[in-house]
């Protein structure tokens, strides 16, 4: 029978598409609850004529329902409301709307008491007199109801999930004033064919409407419908993050495609164009220096232009800068001074955009550590998917087609990301309050308007941010821990992975440079992806503890207990990060890549670039990425909200300065030592770094346990 019903519904949709046929198909496929009364009498005796429509919708018009026609099939449950009535009460119109909407929408319970027998015919109501609907407005006696459920939930669950993810608009609730106006004008159909929103709560029992007509109450309706303050929030949809955050992450994912493609191709390009891959360190240092300035100047831009304009403007200029860089490289006209200039400009613009990017999640969620960690978990996990695939794919593309596709990927992907953010990035109004609080904390000074004043403010903001962080032992320790764990990431991408690939293959394997480098960074990102999945599983476990299953005998944990679980998890992952440092030491062993050891089939040729360090970087990536994500979200949850921009500006700039110094040291190391000797030195350096990891982890464990914020 269900197959026949679905076929008929599809046929009706093809013959006369519209809301009613589509809804019929939806009700055929979804869970159906039927309330069958077995006792009591009808609370709504109505005439046999049915529901009169003075202005049917376009969907009803397609099937031949002209103005003034009626729906006799609903005559058994609905009161008659003539389209030509001169005076109809607002309460009657509301009753028609509620009852008919329930009948059409297929809600779980009736809004009026259902009938057990057909009523006797009622005399027709004259167009010039007001119909007597008092019996229809009286409370119905309690009835025994038997609920029959069609068990099709397993079939429809994926479709419901997709609908909740991509369709968050609910039917607009009809205001009481609109109902009254429509009734006075005789436009009953304005209410009659609008569907009731699931979030519409029925009137409170005993309350009167605005027109003085007693409200209609129905058995079970109060319990079935949520109250206004209990209506589901937007954050319960869209992965639990909210629509703005989901589209923001989507835009970052699209842009990350270009970042990964350009990053994987650039070492090979520099080696080919300038003959020295260690020049990567030089342009990275210039870019890092300007990025530090950009991150702090970014706080000034945020104050003057807002988060959205700052982020979009800086990103758009960055796209233009990289497009020019790609054009010069593709045509072979790039010089080293121009390369430094482009990277410096890109670093400055990237710093401004990054400051706004890091400030957007706190602007959306405030200082809620749980929500912030959930946001960063989703963002990091989805970005790691791109980080796994894009470098490996880039290596294969460069080996077969050259560097041009990798150069074009950046402007194309970021152009698409800009369009997504332009239409979807809406910053909450509470950001204005945050800016006002920050201005008050700065003495009410206006944002600088000249270049000189801007640089003066740059140093002032650095000082304020440093004061906020350094004056708080907990914030200072979080910053030091984050810097220590984060520092290996830029070192790996900038020099360690490129140098390992080139020294392993030699000049004869130039065509495979990008493949080996991409495999190293790709599998490192794969570890980060696994770490993201682990954080999601952890959040689900905590969610079950917050809302234990009925009958489990467990009590829900409090918000303080939830934060304590997250704190302990952060410390645990930092300890695993200490163990993961052993993966870096594997680079000291020049084991050939997999394709040189065994013969692989054609469909596995991409795996030929796999090396021992690439595999070892998977567990290292798990612990390193999870630790940095948790440390960053913990810092944001503990930083004063009024000083968030200053604190985050210093947090990012100072950690970047530390990584820049580390990259500078690597440059001299790889420039001065031949072969794999630099990797032996790096492996030995992991021992004191591991000791520092142990120290800072124990200190943060103690301070965070004592903190009661």
CB 428 within 8 A of CB 360: no
pLDDT confidence of residue 186: 37
Residue scoring higher pLDDT (136 or 482): 482
- d(C-alpha 497, C-alpha 666), whole Å: 12
Task: Name the most confidently modeled range: 1-10, 177-186, 238-247.
Answer: 238-247
Mean per-residue pLDDT of the chain: 71
pLDDT confidence of residue 553: 78
Read off the pLDDT of each residue in 140-156 and give the average, rounded to a whole number: 44
Residue whose C-alpha is closest to residue 76's, from 40, 103, 39, 105:
103
For 403, the token pair is 């560097």
Task: Give 474's pLDDT tier (boundaries 50, 70, 90).
Answer: very high
For 24, the token pair is 């019929």
For 339, the token pair is 């390369």
Q: Is the pLDDT at 518 greater than 70, yes or no?
A: yes
Three-state SS string over 8-73 comes to HHHHHHHHCCCHHHHHHHHHHHCCEEEEEECCCCCCCCCCCCCEECCCCCHHHHHCCCCCCCEEHH
DSSP state for residue 1 in the 8-state scheme: -
pLDDT confidence of residue 24: 54
Read off the pLDDT of each residue in 448-456 and give the average, rounded to a whole number: 64
- d(C-alpha 365, C-alpha 373), whole Å: 10
Read off the pLDDT of each residue in 491-507 and give the average, rounded to a whole number: 89
pLDDT confidence of residue 450: 56
- d(C-alpha 39, C-alpha 359), whole Å: 61
Q: How many of the other CB atoms lie within 10 Å of CB of 147?
A: 10
For 399, the token pair is 């080996």
Worst-scoring range by mean pLDDT, 99-103, 254-258, 315-319, 642-646?
Answer: 99-103
Task: Name the most confidently modeled range: 202-206, 299-303, 433-437, 703-707.
Answer: 703-707
pLDDT confidence of residue 161: 45
Task: Name the most confidently modeled range: 3-12, 25-34, 152-161, 665-674.
Answer: 665-674
- d(C-alpha 505, C-alpha 296), whole Å: 41
- d(C-alpha 402, C-alpha 211), whole Å: 75
What region does 302 belong to: left with phi over 0, alpha with psi -120 to 50, or beta?
A: alpha
pTM of the predicted model, to two decimals? Answer: 0.57
Q: Is the pLDDT at 113 greater than 90, yes or no?
A: no
Worst-scoring range by mean pLDDT, 102-111, 204-213, 344-353, 437-446?
Answer: 204-213
Read off the pLDDT of each residue in 534-554 and give the average, rounded to a whole number: 85
Q: Is the pLDDT at 531 greater than 70, yes or no?
A: yes
Residue whose C-alpha is closest to residue 480's, from 682, 684, 703:
703
- d(C-alpha 395, C-alpha 377), whole Å: 28
Please tell me whether residue 368 adopts helix, strand or coil conformation. Answer: coil
- The separation between the first and the last C-alpha atoms of the chain, rounded to the nearest angstrom, is 60
Task: Give 52's pLDDT tier (boundaries 50, 70, 90).
Answer: very low
CB 383 within 8 A of CB 253: yes
Task: Give 672's pLDDT tier (boundaries 50, 70, 90).
Answer: confident
pLDDT confidence of residue 194: 27
For the domain with range 235-547+558-706, which CATH number is right: 1.20.1250.20, 3.40.50.1970, 3.30.420.40, 3.40.50.280? Answer: 1.20.1250.20
CB 97 within 8 A of CB 191: yes
Q: Which residues on adjacent β-strands are paired with residue 51? A: 71
400-429 pLDDT per residue, tens: 777 888 888 888 999 999 999 888 887 765
Read off the pLDDT of each residue in 532-541 and give the average, rounded to a whole number: 88
Q: What is the dihedral of CA 598, 603, 605, 611, to 10 degrees?
A: -70
| Dihedral sign computed on CA atoms, order 506, 507, 509, 512 | positive
Share of the chain above pLDDT 70, in %: 62
CB 195 within 8 A of CB 102: no
Task: Give 245's pLDDT tier (boundaries 50, 70, 90).
Answer: confident
By CB neighbour count within 10 A (0-12 exposed, 13-18 middle, 19+ buried), where does 406 fall?
buried
Read off the pLDDT of each residue in 568-586 and give the average, rounded to a whole number: 93
pLDDT confidence of residue 471: 92
Residue whose C-alpha is closest to residue 493's, from 623, 373, 582, 624:
624
**What residues contact residue 422 under an 8 Å CB cut-off, 6+ apart?**
312
- d(C-alpha 6, C-alpha 293), whole Å: 63
pLDDT confidence of residue 25: 55
- For β-strands 70-71 and 51-52, DSSP reports them as antiparallel
What residue spans define the domains of the chain? 1-30, 44-117+157-232, 235-547+558-706
């Amino acid at each position: 029978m269900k197959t026949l019903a679905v076929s008929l519904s599809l046929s009706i949709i093809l013959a006369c598409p519209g809301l009613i046929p589509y809804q019929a198909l939806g009700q055929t496929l979804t869970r159906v609850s039927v309330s069958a009364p077995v006792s009591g009498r009808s609370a709504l005796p109505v005439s046999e004529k049915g529901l009169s429509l003075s202005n049917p919708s376009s969907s009803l018009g397609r099937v031949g329902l002209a103005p003034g026609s009626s729906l006799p099939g609903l005559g058994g449950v609905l009161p008659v409301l003539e389209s030509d009535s001169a005076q109809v009460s607002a309460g009657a119109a509301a009753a028609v709307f509620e009852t008919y909407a329930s009948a059409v929408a297929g809600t779980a319970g009736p809004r009026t008491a259902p009938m057990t027998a057909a009523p006797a015919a009622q005399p027709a109501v004259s167009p010039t007199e007001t119909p007597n609907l008092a019996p229809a407005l009286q409370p119905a006696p309690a009835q025994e109801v038997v609920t029959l459920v069609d068990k099709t939930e397993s079939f429809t669950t994926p479709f419901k999930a997709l609908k909740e993810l991509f369709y968050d608009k609910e039917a607009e609730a009809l205001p009481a004033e609109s109902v009254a106006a429509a009734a006075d004008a005789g436009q009953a159909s304005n209410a009659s064919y609008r569907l009731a929103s699931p979030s519409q709560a029925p009137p409170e029992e005993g309350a009167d409407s605005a027109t003085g007509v007693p409200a209609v109450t129905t058995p079970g309706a109060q319990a079935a419908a949520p109250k206004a303050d209990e209506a589901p929030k937007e954050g319960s949809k869209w992965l639990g993050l909210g629509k703005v955050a989901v589209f923001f992450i989507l835009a970052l994912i699209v842009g990350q495609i270009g970042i990964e493609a350009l990053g994987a191709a650039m070492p090979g390009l520099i080696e080919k164009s300038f003959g020295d891959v260690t020049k990567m360190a030089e342009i990275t240092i210039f870019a890092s220096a300007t990025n530090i300035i950009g991150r702090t100047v970014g706080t000034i831009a945020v104050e003057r232009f807002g988060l959205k304009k700052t982020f979009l403007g800086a990103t758009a200029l960055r796209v233009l800068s990289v497009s020019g860089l790609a054009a010069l490289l593709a045509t072979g006209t790039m010089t080293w001074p121009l390369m430094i200039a482009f990277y410096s400009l890109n670093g400055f613009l990237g710093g401004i955009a990054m400051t706004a990017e890091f400030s957007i999640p706190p602007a959306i969620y405030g200082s809620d550590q749980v929500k912030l960690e959930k946001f960063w978990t989703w963002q990091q996990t989805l970005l790691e998917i791109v980080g796994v695939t894009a470098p490996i794919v880039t290596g294969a593309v460069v080996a077969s087609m050259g560097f041009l596709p990798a150069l074009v990927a950046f402007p194309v992907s970021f152009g698409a990301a800009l369009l997504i953010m332009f239409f979807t990035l809406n910053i909450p109004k509470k950001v204005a309050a945050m800016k006002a609080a920050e201005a008050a904390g700065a003495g009410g000074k206006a944002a600088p308007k000249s270049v000189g004043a801007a640089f003066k403010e740059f140093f002032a903001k650095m000082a304020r941010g440093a004061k906020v962080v350094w004056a708080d032992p907990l914030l200072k320790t979080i910053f030091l821990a984050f810097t220590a764990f984060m520092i290996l990431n830029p070192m790996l991408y900038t020099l360690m992975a490129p140098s390992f690939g080139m020294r392993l293959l030699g000049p004869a394997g130039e065509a495979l440079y990008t493949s080996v480098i991409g495999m190293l960074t790709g599998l490192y990102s794969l570890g980060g992806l696994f770490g993201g999945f682990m954080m999601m599983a952890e959040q689900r476990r905590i969610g079950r503890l917050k809302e234990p299953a009925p009958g489990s005998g467990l009590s829900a944990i409090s918000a303080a207990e939830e934060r304590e679980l997250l704190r302990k998890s952060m410390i645990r992952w930092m300890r695993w990060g200490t163990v993961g440092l052993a993966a870096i030491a594997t680079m000291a062993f020049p084991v050939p890549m997999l394709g040189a050891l065994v013969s692989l089939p054609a469909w596995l040729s991409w795996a030929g670039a796999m090396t021992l360090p690439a595999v070892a970087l998977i567990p290292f990536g798990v612990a390193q990425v999870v630790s940095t994500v948790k440390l960053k979200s913990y810092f944001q949850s503990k930083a004063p909200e009024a000083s968030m921009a200053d604190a985050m500006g210093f947090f990012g700039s100072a950690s970047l300065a530390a990584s820049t110094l580390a990259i500078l040291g690597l440059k001299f190391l790889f420039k001065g030592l031949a072969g794999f000797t630099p990797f032996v030195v790096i492996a030995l350096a992991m021992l004191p770094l591991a000791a520092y990891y142990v120290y800072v982890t124990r200190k943060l464990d103690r301070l965070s346990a004592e903190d009661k914020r």
